[in-house]
Chains A and B, each alone.
Chain A
């Protein structure tokens, strides 16, 4: 079945550590995105990538980094520079176009700093 997979579902990080969240899709989508979800604030865009080897900062990119070496994969690293990393992280993908704009989401990764 085609879909978008995030792992792990739950992640715990000690302060000062970097941690990487995985996002894989087999939908043949060109575009991939990372959103952060906090209570009462909706979904905020961290980074997005329209094509392999290219990515752009979203609205809250500080303290995060990404790579897009393969079409199927868009991992997100939460660095120690992110001061408040505890949140629910959502990855999405889409095939941009006039008719195909729908974004599909993964099931999310809940990151907790301990």
Chain B
């Protein structure tokens, strides 16, 4: 089955700096890669996603890049703010032969991001 590795496990930055979290996946058939942000005591929330037919996607201060050949994708947060502090998870999912997916997401281990004021 799919295996997703996420690094680093913890990341500490100063406010205004950039933060980068990297993930690798094992199944070349995976074609959807979401990123989730989880605040303390809450469920994860989708912040950005990318599909395998796209190499990069941006949404304001966050961006995701995908390298299908190397099977890795990254989350980039620019101009970090204290409210960006949270646990971030990457995930990967494979569509079946018919083109639909079951939402059977395989998650990375998570990255605890701390942004210091």
Contact = CB atoms under 8 A, between A and B. Distances in A.
Chains A and B bind each other = yes
B73 interface: no
Contacts of B4: 42
A41 to B, nearest CB: 6
Contacts, number: 72
Contacts of A35: 107
Interface residues of A, number: 28
B43 A42 contact: no
Most buried by A among B34, B45, B103: B103
B42 A107 contact: yes
Contacts of B101: 96-98, 101
Interface stretch (A11-19, A43-51, A61-69, A74-82): A43-51
Interface of A: 6, 31, 33, 35, 40-45, 48, 50, 58-59, 90, 92, 94, 96-98, 101-108
